[in-house]
A and B are shown apart, each in its own frame.
Chain A
Amino acid sequence: MNFPPTRLSVIARTRSADEEMRRLAFATIIEAYWKPVYKYLRLKWQLGPDQAADLTQAFFATTLERDVLGRFEPERARFRTYLRLCVDGFASNARKAERRLERGGGVPMTSLDFESAEGEMVRYEPAVPADVEELFYQEWVRALFQRAVGDLRAWATSSGRDTMLAVFERYDLADSPDDRPTYATLAHDLAITPTTVTNHLAAMRRQFRRIVLERLRDLTTTDEEFEAEARRLLGSAP
């Protein structure tokens, strides 16, 4: 597995003395986790869309402002698990208090698009998945991959790899196996050879993997946690 070199994780950067670094670190965590948290609150805690949106914002505001992340102990749990347990505690307290939650101030979350998150919830209706914790993981993976694909697009566009990007988008991002074109079709449509399709896909997957691992490194706190997450995400299932 191609592990990027160790560097200060985003969780560690939330404790930085540098305010800008702290703000960016918070933004990265919110970016990675807000959708999983929102959907988790909707499904496990059976909250309505508005309530779940309010609680999601309040959770991140409170969590980050009160340095809840500073209490995370990497040797006891993965960060993702810790955060999910925090969500459970927060939702439980909110339900007990039955109070209206304050929307967080000072935390960069103005761009959270709850409408789009709600649109993605359609696939869970009307059934609630049996394993809601697994859902949290799936949504976390989806959020991670979506960001990685965004980074990949930016990288390909800025470096003039438009054809490579087109091959990757049409083949690897197809909504279903039935929508996936053959190499020959792709080659014909893009006026390249099937061998070039193969090579482009290999190059884009290599870059995608590198970006995912970089982002994963950012979201984990120790080498052990990173390796375990990477193995679960991209490694081989037993």
Chain B
Amino acid sequence: MSGWLGDAAVAHLRAVAEWPDVGERYEITRRLGRGGMGVVYGARDRVLDREVAIKVVDDIGSHADAARLLAEARILGRLEHPAIVPVHDAGSLADGRVFYVMKLVRGERLDAAMASRTVSERLDLFLRICDAVSFAHAHGIVHRDLKPQNVMLGPFGEVLVMDWGVARVAGAAPDKEAVVGTPGYMAPEQEHDARSADSRADIYALGVMLDAMLPQPAPRPLMAIANRARAARAADRYDTVQGLSRDVSRFREGAPVDAYRESALERLARIYQRHRLPITLVLVYMAVRMILLLWFRT
């Protein structure tokens, strides 16, 4: 064989030489994409004969990235919830880089999936996201980078909240970074100092997400819920994610919501919407009675 390497061979060698050597158990099959501090590869777990995803720290020398990736893996390991991607394994490569193995998530991102959904379906998705975030908060974990791009929808209706790379455990050592998160979804206090971001920073991001998920113009009570969740002052937001999701659920049920003070007319309209059939039957009954009464009088 000659020593000449064609373009295709050079490109292929660059790709396969880049793939990390994760040991005997996993066989890297493709590169899926890049996250904040590492690259995610598709791989086959030879022992269990299944497809998995492996996230590997990018920089060999970055102890901060390695610590963050390991922290992310541990956080995910603690959060066993149907809407949070499960971690199967974690370890170090021969060169010291940290990696973890997780479920391979197939599907589409929330932001790409909204157009084809009804308002009711969107609210259902939002409530399931809230469930996952609420679960994390109950375990003392704040995500700090919630946005539609970090939520995946599976082919069987699964909702998965992804990318817990900048999540923070309550009581953990404060971050050195001044800012973590994504502009537009970051609470004002998080923009100034990531260390001050508590669970209400996630509630802020959920408020922005709710607004983004709604068709325009959105019903006023829903806009009020979104606005309250993303209030500039943390103290003006919902205290908990349950409070937020309770209000959204109440809207779905046709009940009054805490975030919106409705007028008498709006209240009547809402009550009518909620009890349309019995009210219609009563009104028809009364109308018939009235007609009959007038008929016999004449």
Contact = CB atoms under 8 A, between A and B. Distances in A.
Contacts of B258: none
Interface string B6-49: 11111011101111010010010001001000010000001000
B173 interface: no
Interface string A36-56: 000000000000000000000
B4 interface: yes
A8 interface: no
A235 B3 contact: no
Given A2-B94, A146-B3, A173-B5, A141 B60 contact: no
Interface in B82-137: 94-95, 97
A213 to B, nearest CB: 9
A205 B4 contact: no
Interface residues of A, number: 36
A106 interface: no
A145 B27 contact: no
Contact of A149 (B3, B31, B61, B97): B3
A155 interface: no
A205 B34 contact: no
A2 B1 CA distance: 29
Contacts of A123: 7
Interface in B39-78: 39, 46, 58-61
A177 B15 CA distance: 13
A212 B17 contact: yes
A198 interface: yes
B5 A145 contact: yes
B8 A174 contact: yes
A209 interface: yes
B260 to A, nearest CB: 44
A1 B95 contact: yes
Question: Nearest 10 A-B pairs (CB), nearest first?
Answer: A2-B95, A209-B17, A1-B60, A236-B39, A176-B8, A234-B18, A175-B6, A146-B3, A234-B17, A173-B9
Contact of A141 (B14, B16, B97): B14
A7 interface: no
9 contacts: A3-B95, A116-B4, A145-B13, A169-B1, A172-B9, A176-B8, A205-B16, A234-B18, A236-B39
A103 B129 CA distance: 72
Contacts of B3: 146, 149-150
A177 B8 contact: yes
Contact of B21 (A3, A120, A202, A233): A202
**For A2, A169, A227, which residue has the most chain B Cβ atoms within 10 angstroms?**
A2
Contacts of B12: 172, 174, 177
A236 B18 contact: yes
Dominant SS at the A interface?
helix
A142 B4 CA distance: 8
A175 B9 contact: yes
Contact of B14 (A202, A234, A238): A234
Contacts of A34: none
A108 to B, nearest CB: 19
Interface in A218-238: 227, 233-236, 238
Given A234-B14, A236-B39, A205 B19 contact: yes
A174 B12 CA distance: 9
B230 to A, nearest CB: 31
A151 to B, nearest CB: 11
A61 B18 CA distance: 35
Contacts of A33: none
A141 B10 contact: yes
A172 to B, nearest CB: 6
A206 interface: yes
B161 to A, nearest CB: 24
Nearest to B17: A209
Contacts of B9: 172-175
A47 B231 CA distance: 67
B5 A149 contact: yes
B14 A208 contact: no
A25 to B, nearest CB: 22
Interface string A118-145: 0010010000000000000010011001
A172 B16 contact: yes
B5 A205 contact: no
A122 B4 CA distance: 13
Given A1-B97, A141-B14, A173-B13, 4 more contacts: A123-B7, A142-B5, A205-B19, A236-B18
A91 B14 CA distance: 31
Contacts of B34: 236, 238
B23 to A, nearest CB: 9
Nearest to B2: A116
A123 B34 CA distance: 33
B18 A235 contact: yes
Contact of B31 (A116, A208, A212, A236): A236
